[in-house]
Structure 1
Amino acid sequence: MPRRLLPAAAPDVAVALARWRAGDADRADRKLLVKHYLAILQERAPGASVEVRVPPYAAVQVVPGVRHTRGTPPAVVETDADTWIRLATGETAWDEAGTALTRSGERTDLSTYLPLG
């Protein structure tokens, strides 16, 4: 079974988020923020019926329902790091993400779980 992501330390998130908002975030800042917010999503929406992918940083399985174990999951949400951070922080609403967010399958509307922090 894949290891669950863990939320980052609050001071580290604050620093990375401040740099990201200022436009000075580097790859390490984005990685920390993406994994942090995916970990929070795992806590708020436990399950394995939807796979949320933020390449190249991480992917998690969330939302109660049918669990998949092999192959392509029945429901997938994929986006880039900056869009994920905007969604997680509430800077962009789910229905405003447009083409930066791809969804396929059931239960892929994560708006009830967002923003995360």
Structure 2
Amino acid sequence: MPSRPTVAQRRHAALRAALDDQLRHLGEPPYSGPDRPSLVLEACASAVLRAHAAGLDPDRAAVRAAVRGTLAELAERAPGHALEVRVPPFGAVQCLEGPRHTRGTPPGVVETDSLTWLALAAGTLVWEEAVAGGRVTASGVRADIGPLLPLWGPPSR
């Protein structure tokens, strides 16, 4: 009897499927790079941003998968509960060491839309510019996550 796929395996399969759908909508061939989760996540975020830049509506499943994956990556790199990063409607994570909250609004909150978040994660948008331009709201003493971004690649300064 075959074993059931783990949550991580199911999440990765959904990410791959969403990436290939987004690439198809862009008129590009399916992803053929290494099947490592971080590389597939980077490719998916990049494909979503390319679709948006081309004036297309990015594939919702690809946006969801890329946002959830990048939020999970942020939480893994900066574990803790002092800051909540929200990207509605796709997800939110708690990260950064510091005081833990258990009810209501946490002491630090960062909130932005999905395309802004993916641009920050990919390094095509700089944190300071996003905050100054009102594309990100950040409150609390630990709300500056600029040093943690981008999640891959060089920042575009």
Alignment TM class, shorter chain as reference: 0.7 to 0.9
Cα distance in structure 1, aligned partners of 2:97 and 2:147? 13
Unaligned runs of 5+ residues in structure 1 are: 1-5
Distance 1:74 1:19, change over 3 A: closer
- Correspondence 1:4-19 to 2 at 5 A: 9=37, 10-11=39-40, 13-15=42-44, 17-19=46-48
Distance 1:72 1:89, change over 3 A: same
Give the one of 54, 65, 87 matched to 2:87: 54
The Cα of 1:82 is off from its aligned counterpart by 0.3
| Higher percent of residues as helix | 2
- The superposition leaves residues 43-99 of structure 1 with CA deviations (integer Å, 9 ceiling, x where unpaired) of 111100000000000000001100111111111000000000000000001001020
Give the one of 20, 26, 30 matched to 2:49: 20
| Larger Cα-atom Rg | 2
Unaligned runs of 5+ residues in structure 2 are: 1-10, 16-36, 153-157
Distance 1:66 1:54, change over 3 A: same
TM-score normalised according to structure 1 size: 0.86
**Structure 2 residue aligned with 1:113:** 148
Cα distance in structure 2, aligned partners of 1:81 and 1:19? 10
| Percent identity between the two aligned chains | 51
